[in-house]
Structure 1
Amino acid sequence: MTTQQVAELLGVKVETVYAYASRGLLSSERVPGGKGSTFDAEEVAALAGGPRRRPPRGAAGAGAAGVAGGGAGRAPGSGYGDLPPIEPVTVRTALTLIDGGRLYYRGVDAVEFAERHGFEAAVGLLWGIDADQGLALHASADLVAALRRTGETLPAAIRLPDRLRVSAAVAASLDPLRFDLREENVRAVGAALIAAQVEALPTVSAGPSAGESPVGVPPAGESLAARLWSRLAPGAPPPGAVACLDRALVLLADHELAVSTVAARVAASARADPYAVLSAGLGASDGPLHGAASASAHRMLAEVLAAGDAVPVVSEYLRTGRSIPGLGHRLYPRGDPRAVALLDAQRSLPAAGPVLAAVDAVVRAAGGHRATAAEAANVDLALAAFAHVGGMAAEAGEVIFSVARTAGWLAHAMEEYREAPLRLRTRADYTGPRPER
């Protein structure tokens, strides 16, 4: 049904129809090649047969004065009188599903996909391009040169994640057409942004990228994972190490509506450009409970490796009331499949034995006599282990997470750009002092 047909059937304004869709009461699809949306006729009929209006909490009645969010006194004809009370917004997405303890990208098992494909293919899959074709991830020569000039002015001790945030701002300043939100433009911008984050990091090891060519296009056949390795690990990668990093990037590319993804979608809902969307995602992921969680696990593993025993380290965490980082995940009560895949990929790497033994020892010590899957390693601990195996700094896991998750943030932004703007506006449940009348 067209928007106008739905409005006539429900007896509401067109704006109200879009409000119903934004609150998850109706499903909508954009009309190909044109403007407007179409709606599921069965859902419309079900909505027409049920109550569409009810007074919000604290409202005097169900009339026009009792509107969404307690908006008594709204001007007649504003459209607010037809809205239902503010409820949690259901965000429909065709990108990522977490079901039965598994993670899927567009219906494809992410773990199985990571065994066969690299990060470029995962970006293509999430961005609606043929995964077999993948997507070339490179930045222009001008952007690369600007990033290097900017990097030279930054303090030597600046954290690598902070360099990522700077790279987004620099890239945005060089793109006067960044508000072109057509998908083909967002894809082009996104591919450059992912590469730009890697280019913004100083090179610390020899390899194909160590020459720092002024040309933004990487050597033929060189993956983003290979370029990222030279920015994170000292020394040339041992056999299998780049492939393991590539697998980590694929497994971390998206994770449904994690907090950083919600931040990215909120920014996109306000029609922020892709650079601002990336900045929103990076800001939300900076917390120790999300994108930076692997750093805490990295430090704990360092303590275990130094002590040669996980029990005293775990005991000290428990004694001081600290949670043991890198264990369990509320979306995977039977164990995080990403962690299993990433830890398995590390077993063939040189020098991985002691690190993986430390991971197993932490899980056993934390589980005690009641070890369950909830105490199993999550992807943060697996990422921290990989950083140790590669001789990387504690913040390397956060960098890997952010570079990988940029693909997911921008995929969600492309979805959100197709929705009604500003639909993710929530209302507060005010608990402060009431104003004097």
Structure 2
Amino acid sequence: MRDQEIGPDRRLTTQEAAELLGVKPETVYAYVSRGRLSSRRAHGGRGSTFAAEEVEVLARRNRRQGGGSPGTGADPAVRTRLTLIDENRYYYRGVDATELAARHSYEEVAEWLWTGRMRPGATFTAPEASVAAARRAVDALPEHSGPTDRLRVAAVAAAVADPLRFDLSEDVVLGTARSLIPTLVAALPPKRSAGADEGSLARRLWARLSGRPAEEAPLRVLDTALGLLVDHDLATSTLAVRVAASARAHPYAAVSAGLGAVEGPLHGAAGGLAHRLLLDVLDRGDAGPVIAEELRAGRRIPGLGHRLYTGEDPRARALFALLENLPEAGSALAAARDVVATSARHAPLHANVDLALAVLTVSSGMEPEAGETVFAVARTAGWIAHALEEYGERPLRMRPSGQYVGAKPPQPLP
């Protein structure tokens, strides 16, 4: 069935709905039993019919989130009130996320995502005992440890210092969120001691990412980037958090699960790859040979394309608009545009947020891993929002059944 055949009043048979969804007819009825589809008795009382528009919406959602069968014991799609991604835009609790991040601080955006209420001037404060424990743990790591290693260890140390960590009531979890995020930042070694523990969270994080003074314009870009990255629906790390929260892991442990998933090159670490790509382009003065080497090695070009957006990543668009006002970002911006234009000859992919974040980190004299740090700190707020939602659901519901494809039992003892 072609999309253009689906009208607002068209009704589908069970077989037609199954074909559109790519499932068996019995799975269609499982969707109905779980409230994901509504049905109506067909004329004559034989079989059921389904609203074509409703089936198409479910089919799009399943394609976006990887599908899944209602018979597995795990929800194929997780109901959430937090983030909607639709038509090359995304929304936090129904509000355009790019506009929210442009007008409000990271702390205010986080509060909105957690509670649905705006707290103007919101600030996050880290308890001294939590910071001391986290710093001791991080300082004991080898010097070559990466930023996610440090954040993960800091989260574990902060948990041990919190006797209320097993209290999963909403108020206590929110209190944990407001103290854990600044604790993670405070545990990172500063590049500059001046103002390292003062001001907004973005200012404190800047002191740990760049040795340059925190001027207002680049600081605003960093703060906006944090707000833009707070949440992005069920990304890999967020799903890991919800699985942990489903087992009623405390917030620190749930965040640790998210940090564990972040380290992959296709998720949080993608910003570092884009950073190195831009440095290589700037060093050579031309994206052509750099892109050629990436393609020859069979690697995907970092910073390009996103499976949830057919057009430009709205987060990248928002950051590029701010970066254009920074004189020091001019050469990195030109290199990023060169990467997009050169790659377009091979595949017409748009810039994603990793490339925009790389422009910020390169032009601010930050290390390649800085983008990963920004991502992980920002996303901690979203992880806790999802953990809070999951604490309100049936425990252990995130338990799919394995599809065994091994040797048929019984087999002889080895």
Kindly indicate whether the alpha-carbon contact (under 8 Å) linking 1:295 and 1:397 is maintained by their aligned counterparts in 2.
yes
Kindly indicate whether the alpha-carbon contact (under 8 Å) linking 2:83 and 2:233 is maintained by their aligned counterparts in 1.
yes
Kindly indicate whether the alpha-carbon contact (under 8 Å) linking 1:23 and 1:90 is maintained by their aligned counterparts in 2.
no
Kindly indicate whether the alpha-carbon contact (under 8 Å) linking 1:24 and 1:91 is maintained by their aligned counterparts in 2.
no
For 1:292 and 1:176, locate their aligned partners in 2 and report how far apart those are by CA, in whole Å.
Answer: 32
Structure 2 residue corresponding to 1:422, chosen from 377, 380, 396:
396
For 1:397 and 1:290, locate their aligned partners in 2 and report how far apart those are by CA, in whole Å.
Answer: 11
142-151 vs 411-420, which deviates more?
142-151
Structure 1 residue corresponding to 2:274, chosen from 297, 314, 325:
297
The one-letter amino acid of 1:208's match is G
Q: Please list every run of 5 or more consecutive structure 1 residues that lacks an aligned counterpart in the other structure.
A: 1-21, 28-39, 52-82, 210-217
Equivalent residues in 2 for 1:72-91 (5 A)? 86=73, 88-91=75-78
In the alignment, what sits opposite 2:233? 256
Q: Residue deviations 1:231-287, cap 9 Å, x none? A: 000120234011110000000000000011000000000000000100000001111
Higher helix residue share: 2
Structure 2 residue corresponding to 1:315, chosen from 267, 276, 292:
292
Residue 371 of structure 1 and its aligned partner are, at CA, apart by 6.3
Q: Residue deviations 1:27-61, cap 9 Å, x none? A: 6xxxxxxxxxxxx9x97999xx999xxxxxxxxxx
Distance 1:317 1:44, change over 3 A: closer
Question: Is 1:162 the counterpart of 2:159 in the alignment?
Answer: no
Residue 137 of structure 1 and its aligned partner are, at CA, apart by 1.1
334-343 vs 198-207, which deviates more?
198-207
135-144 vs 118-127, which deviates more?
135-144
The one-letter amino acid of 1:104's match is Y
Question: Is 1:197 the counterpart of 2:184 in the alignment?
Answer: yes
Q: Residue deviations 1:312-360, cap 9 Å, x none? A: 1111111222111110111011110100111111112231110000000
Structure 2 residue corresponding to 1:138, chosen from 99, 120, 125:
125
Q: Residue deviations 1:174-223, cap 9 Å, x none? A: 122211000100000111111111011011025322xxxxxxxx54xx11
TM-score, normalised on structure 1? 0.77
Cα RMSD over matched residues?
2.4
The one-letter amino acid of 1:321's match is G
SS in 1 for 2:399: coil
In the alignment, what sits opposite 2:370? 396
Kindly indicate whether the alpha-carbon contact (under 8 Å) linking 1:135 and 1:191 is maintained by their aligned counterparts in 2.
no
The one-letter amino acid of 1:402's match is A
SS in 2 for 1:429: coil
In the alignment, what sits opposite 1:410? 384
Structure 1 residue corresponding to 2:320, chosen from 339, 343, 368:
343
Equivalent residues in 2 for 1:14-53 (5 A)? 25-26=33-34
Kindly indicate whether the alpha-carbon contact (under 8 Å) linking 1:305 and 1:355 is maintained by their aligned counterparts in 2.
yes
In the alignment, what sits opposite 2:27? none
For 1:120 and 1:178, locate their aligned partners in 2 and report how far apart those are by CA, in whole Å.
Answer: 22
Identity of aligned residues (%): 50
Kindly indicate whether the alpha-carbon contact (under 8 Å) linking 1:26 and 1:43 is maintained by their aligned counterparts in 2.
no
SS in 2 for 1:240: helix
Structure 2 residue corresponding to 1:246, chosen from 195, 208, 223:
223
In the alignment, what sits opposite 1:434? 408
For 1:271 and 1:229, locate their aligned partners in 2 and report how far apart those are by CA, in whole Å.
Answer: 34
Distance 1:390 1:23, change over 3 A: farther
Kindly indicate whether the alpha-carbon contact (under 8 Å) linking 2:192 and 2:210 is maintained by their aligned counterparts in 1.
yes
The one-letter amino acid of 1:273's match is H
Distance 1:126 1:430, change over 3 A: same
For 1:381 and 1:156, locate their aligned partners in 2 and report how far apart those are by CA, in whole Å.
Answer: 27
SS in 1 for 2:137: helix
For 1:292 and 1:152, locate their aligned partners in 2 and report how far apart those are by CA, in whole Å.
Answer: 22
In the alignment, what sits opposite 1:76? none
SS in 1 for 2:84: strand
Distance 1:126 1:163, change over 3 A: same
In the alignment, what sits opposite 1:272? 249
For 2:359 and 2:71, locate their aligned partners in 1 and report how far apart those are by CA, in whole Å.
Answer: 49
The one-letter amino acid of 1:112's match is E
Question: Is 1:120 the counterpart of 2:107 in the alignment?
Answer: yes
In the alignment, what sits opposite 1:108? 95
Runs of 4+ in 1 over 6 A off after TM superposition: 42-46
88-97 vs 397-406, which deviates more?
88-97
